[in-house]
Structure 1
Amino acid sequence: MHDILVLYYSHRGSVRALAERIARGIESVPGMQARLRTVPRVSTVCEASEPSLPSSGAPYVEPIDLAECAGLALGSPVRFGNMAAPMKYFWDGTIAEWQNGTLTGKPACVFTSSSSQHGGNESTLLTMMLPLLHHGMLLMGLSFSEPELGSTVGGGTPYGASHVTGHTGTPTLTEAESRLAFAQGARLAQLVKQLNPS
């Protein structure tokens, strides 16, 4: 059984919904298992701290999760065309993993959510790829062989799965967004399987 890390930060639930759908896509491939993890919030107040366990959802990521994963799906909401501060803070602390080559050669993909169609989905997906490239990961996106990619009026890009919440901020994925997230998870799992044939 190969573990694929689905690492995400979600503020209102949209990115978590994408992460859960990607995890289902991963687990649709025999021999693949999704490991859902999140990161704690960051605060401008130095004395503030998050509890050691989140009140709900996935546990916090630990260095062992990076070492044990055979692949990675990385998700964050859009923050001015970039990943959210908690996720950036996490990656800024992975110098030891970078020096040790912990993630080198492992496949990865990215996913995101914004409140508007032109809210920075694609630039966020692209900027989330940068630390993964520095870690030596093999990046994959979504193929236009997925029919929803060419017809969706919500989220979905060739750079990765995405969701557009609209002015209501709903975390509920559209049918097309859900199918694309599932397909991305399955595609990542298939790539892991091809790279690890044993």
Structure 2
Amino acid sequence: MSQVVLILYYSRHGATQAMANSIALGVEKSGLEARLRCVPEVSNNIANDQHSVPHSGDPYVVKQDLEDCCALALGSPTRFGNMAAPLKYFLDDTSAQWLAGTLENKPACVFTSTSSMHGGQETTLLTMMIPLLHHGMVLCGLPYSNPELHTTLTGGSPYGATHLAQGDNKNKLSTDEQKLCVAQGQRLAKLAAKLDT
């Protein structure tokens, strides 16, 4: 079995990246390797050229990362109750991996951040699951055995880890949000080990 959990995300102001880092911590606490990857911006200006390497942060994802992983954590800020266009753009170009069954039977989870309490966290998580189901992945959320789901006043959902950023990442991850991200990473890694065939 591959020992690599791919944590693939898009982050505009750093909140989703902070969540990805906490999920990676949970993955590594469970003994697997976390591979953090992001996607480039999408521009409506066709004259804009995208750099092949990001100026800072994690490297851009390549299709081989999907082949190499034993599990996937997919994260995006909320855009009108759905994932952001850069992440959707990448997923829309994975037909070859879908036809080959590259992600079939691998566990996956989703995570998101929003700028307001009712900014569409749960609809974003649910709609992010749809392409993963088409790829044949096994989805996992966060069970209520995580006590933070009962007490959080910020982010947190049984559908996946969430964060309330309040605009341009004015809020850092709360203690509850951070614990839920770590728990999400641990659960994903444990399921990857159990599903290894």
TM exceeds 0.5? yes
SS in 1 for 2:18: helix
1:149 and 2:149 matched: yes
Report matched runs for 1:154-193 at 5 Å: 154-167=154-167, 169-170=169-170, 172-193=172-193
Deviation track 1:55-90 (CA, whole Å, cap 9, x = no partner) reads 111100001000000000000000000000000100
Measure the CA separation in 2 of the matches of 1:138 and 1:194: 12
Measure the CA separation in 1 of the matches of 2:41 and 2:121: 21
SS in 2 for 1:110: strand
Deviation track 1:106-150 (CA, whole Å, cap 9, x = no partner) reads 000000000111000000000000000000000000000000011
Does the 8 A contact of 2:73 with 2:109 survive in 1?
A: yes
- Residue identity over aligned pairs, in percent, reads 55
Does the 8 A contact of 1:9 with 1:16 survive in 2?
A: yes
SS in 1 for 2:184: helix
TM-score w.r.t. structure 2 length?
Answer: 0.97
TM-score w.r.t. structure 1 length?
Answer: 0.96
Measure the CA separation in 2 of the matches of 1:64 and 1:171: 34
Report matched runs for 1:5-84 at 5 Å: 5-30=6-31, 32-84=32-84
Unaligned runs of 5+ in 2: none
Measure the CA separation in 1 of the matches of 2:60 and 2:105: 24
Unaligned runs of 5+ in 1: none
Does the 8 A contact of 2:13 with 2:168 survive in 1?
A: no
Q: Which residue of 1 is the match for residue 124 of structure 2?
A: 124
Q: Which one-letter code corresponds to 1:131 in the other structure?
A: P
Q: Which one-letter code corresponds to 2:97 in the other structure?
A: E
Measure the CA separation in 2 of the matches of 1:63 and 1:167: 32
Moved over 6 A (4+): none
Shift of 1:167: 4.6
Q: 1:168 to 1:135 in 2, by over 3 A?
A: closer
Measure the CA separation in 1 of the matches of 2:72 and 2:149: 22
Shift of 1:47: 2.1
Does the 8 A contact of 1:12 with 1:171 survive in 2?
A: no
Measure the CA separation in 2 of the matches of 1:47 and 1:102: 34
Name the Cα RMSD after superposition: 1.1
